[in-house]
Amino acid sequence: MTPDGLIVRDAEAADLPAVRALLVETWHATYDGIYGWQRVAEITNAWHSLENLSSQLGRENGAFLVALVGDEIIATASARIERDHAALLTRLYVIPTYQGVGVGRTLLQVTLACFPQAPVARLEVESQNEPAIAFYERMGFFLQRQARFDGRDDTPNTLLMAKRLFAE
């Protein structure tokens, strides 16, 4: 059951330190066992720096959302429109203490609703992140193919998943 008082809204500059802390916590909880603490720290320092997060605010054809209970940011998601008009989910993370209670489902629904003309949603998920894969399958995503994130050998091995959003 989704927590009482859950609010989803656009991320703001003042949210970024809390978003970064959430991402660091969830990445370590999720990926330390796969990549090791040091590699996860390297990835989060590069991908989730305040500078990188700041550059994602207010993007045209994009969404950068946070979910709050009270004043606490407990989840974040971002997505953008691709050239083929698909909605690409680039991030969806829920702090571990709020996983499994409907926050991810709600945040995913709100994020995809930001793109009402998108015929399909796509995402990449780490191939060893079984809880996330199971979550996305429950949300109606299916496996398209396996890939190496950005083609580099030192980055996560990912599954490309998709979901039809409306019938043409």
Whole-model pTM above 0.85?
Answer: yes
Q: Tens digits of per-residue pLDDT, 58-110?
A: 888 899 999 999 999 999 999 999 999 999 999 999 999 999 999 999 999 99
Domain positions in the chain: 6-164
- Say whether 162 sits in a helix, a strand or coil: strand
CATH code, 6-164: 3.40.630.30
Neighbours of 94 (CB within 10 A): 24
Q: What are phi and psi of 112, to 5 degrees?
A: -65, -30
Euclidean distance between CA atoms 36 and 55, whole angstroms: 28
